[in-house]
Amino acid sequence: MTQTNEPNKETCAGNCAGCPSAAGCGDPRNANAPRDLPPKAKMSVKHVVLVLSGKGGVGKSTVSTNLAYALANRGYNTGLIDLDIHGPDIPKMLGAEDARLQSFDGKIIEPVRITGNLAVISMAFLLPERNTPVIWRGPMKMAVIRQFLEDVNWGDLDYLIVDLPPGTGDEALTVAQLAPNIAGAVIVTTPQDVAILDSSKAVEFIKKLDLRVLGIVENMSGFICPHCKEEIDVFGKGGGEREAKKLGVPFLGAIPLDPEMRKAADEGRPFIIRRAKDNPTWKSFDAIMEALVKEIEE
């Protein structure tokens, strides 16, 4: 079947403003359709870093949480937005599940303060019960994303880490259009081919938005047996680095598959704060944070 950009005269009915094909449509009714992007959210932040992946289950929220904590530990004023609206996990990973948001003057929202210079916003803070589902369509999600950016008392931020749901849908596109001063995006993947395939789509998504790919992080990269100390490639190893070279983007580093990482997330104590400098996983996170800051500064 041949596909064209010609409008369907019977179904279009001149609804150009809301049509995804408006930009390439030759219908004369489309001549005055608005094409301007929405205005950027008003907030004071030097660097916005998007964290996304092509598929779920690769440890994207774990990377976001530990990255934000690592930046805060370095003295940066850091904000963390959990934009996985349908499956918000970051409050659990930070030990802040019971926190609730407060607002002032009916509009300004106070974020949950984890440390003196680390604040977080999540849909989980608004739900009556931890198992309450969020059943929303795109427009409602877009509205709450602007609120999380613009109506929150973030103060003056050095970094804002945005943890996105898997894929390249509404949330990723909306925050890319609304957030000011986007330094770029970090793509999280695991080593196996099926994850690499999807992560490459996330890279191309960021490029199409004329944003910078700060680098790829390979999570669950090898496993060191705690008993025999032998390294086992459970999900393979090196796929993220090879894909970064192929796509011409930086490779920020690899994080081993570590049971202590899972334990830290379940306990609500980010792994990075343990400062176990003799631990290869801790070293990996610290090195990735340093590589990321270097990429932004350059």
3-state helix/strand/coil string of 93-162: HCCCCCCCCEEECCCEEECEEEECCEEEEEHHHHCCCCCCCCCCCHHHHHHHHHHHHHCECCCCEEEEEE
Give the separation between CA 260 and CA 237, rounded to whole angstroms.
Answer: 19
Q: How far is CA 216 from CA 15, 56, 202, 219, in A?
A: 40, 15, 10, 10
- pLDDT for position 272: 84
Q: Over the stretch 107-139, which tens digit does the pLDDT of each residue have? A: 789 999 999 999 999 999 999 998 999 999 889
Q: What is the pLDDT of residue 26?
A: 55
pLDDT in tens, 68-105: 998 998 999 999 999 999 999 999 999 999 999 988 77
- The per-type count for the chain, helices as H runs and strands as E runs, is 9, 12
Residues placed in the known binding site: 54-61
Positions at the binding site for ATP: 54-61
pLDDT at 7 over 60: no
In this prediction the pTM is 0.84
Domain spanning 46-297: which superfamily?
P-loop containing nucleotide triphosphate hydrolases (3.40.50.300)
**pLDDT tens-digit series, residues 192-248:** 888 888 889 999 999 999 999 999 999 888 777 777 767 777 777 778 899 999 999
pLDDT, position 168: 87
Q: Is 74 left (phi over 0), alpha (psi -120 to 50) or beta?
A: alpha
Domain ranges, ordered by start, for the chain: 46-297
Give the pLDDT of residue 167: 87
Q: Tens of pLDDT along 155-175?
A: 999 999 999 999 888 999 999
- Name the more confident of 19 and 246: 246
Q: Give pLDDT, residue 257.
A: 85
Give the burial string for 33-51 (b: 16+ CB within 10 Å, else e): beeeeeeebebebebbbbb
Q: What does the pLDDT average to over 16-32? A: 50
Distances (CA, A) of 176 to 57, 85, 129, 206, 276: 22, 16, 30, 9, 35
Residues in Cβ contact with 268 at an 8 Å cutoff, skipping those fewer than 6 apart:
92, 93, 94, 95, 96, 97
Q: What is the pLDDT of residue 52?
A: 93
Taking all residues of the chain, what is their mean pLDDT, rounded to a whole number? 85
What pLDDT shows up at residue 285? Answer: 84
Q: N- to C-terminal Cα distance for the chain?
A: 48
